[in-house]
Amino acid sequence: MCEFFSCIATKDGKILFCEDDSHEETIKRANLKDNSHDFVRIEYTPEMGLRVDAQSIPEWYERSAHRIEDGVKKLYQNVAPAWEDYKKIKAQALEDYKKIEAPAWEDYKKIEAQALEDYEKIEAQAWEDYKKIEAQALEDYKKIKAPAWEDYKKIEAPAWEDYKKIKAQALEDYKKIEAPAREDYKKIEAQALEDYKSRLQQIEGCVGA
């Protein structure tokens, strides 16, 4: 499991768990009272063994400790394969999404960068032209600068608009590719989770939502 397998052992002999791998979620779904001494929280991994998460262990648990621990180990063996399958499906779906999203983002960046470079070339040349005219017409500054500035704006403005249009279109193209890829990933992950939960429901002791 993720770090440890979490379950609840009850005084009446049940071992409860859920796909959330959370003590609190299992307690909530089973309608157990959190301040009750009729159940204990258990954590288990094959490497570290079994641990009872409680300040004090009740007598009823100590009397049935071997039976409960055997039950937890068997339950873990049933749950672990389903959990591993879920992780593999989720990981593959995420990997597939990234394969689609990454090149789409790279294409967007290339188009945006080229559009910006084209704008900067046009703007730079227009600015140089403006400066030349402004310098030559310094003595007649008011008469020459105004039309020169207007010329600059006429050149710069459409170039900037072209850049913005290209950038916006590139971003839309990226979103069209990324959005369905993300939805496919979410659908696959959600179905994998449902399959995982369904498999757990077949195992005695699983507390459903």
Longest dimension (CA), the chain: 105
pLDDT of residue 89: 96
pLDDT of residue 94: 96
Neighbours of 191 (CB within 10 A): 12
What is the length of the chain? 209
The DSSP line for 120-162 is: HHHHHHHHHHHHHHHHHTSTTHHHHHHHHHHHHHHHHHHHHHH
State which residues of the chain have pLDDT below 50.
1-2
pLDDT of residue 21: 80
pLDDT of residue 27: 94
The phi, psi pair for 48, rounded to 5°, reads -105, -5
| Strand pairing class (5-10; 39-45) | antiparallel
pLDDT of residue 42: 96
Chain Cα centroid distance, residue 144: 58
Give kind and range of the element (H or E) at residue 117.
helix 65-136
Residue-wise pLDDT tens digits, 133-157: 988 888 888 888 888 989 999 999 9
pLDDT of residue 4: 76
pLDDT of residue 2: 40
Rounded Cα distance, 187 and 193, in Å: 10
pLDDT of residue 3: 57
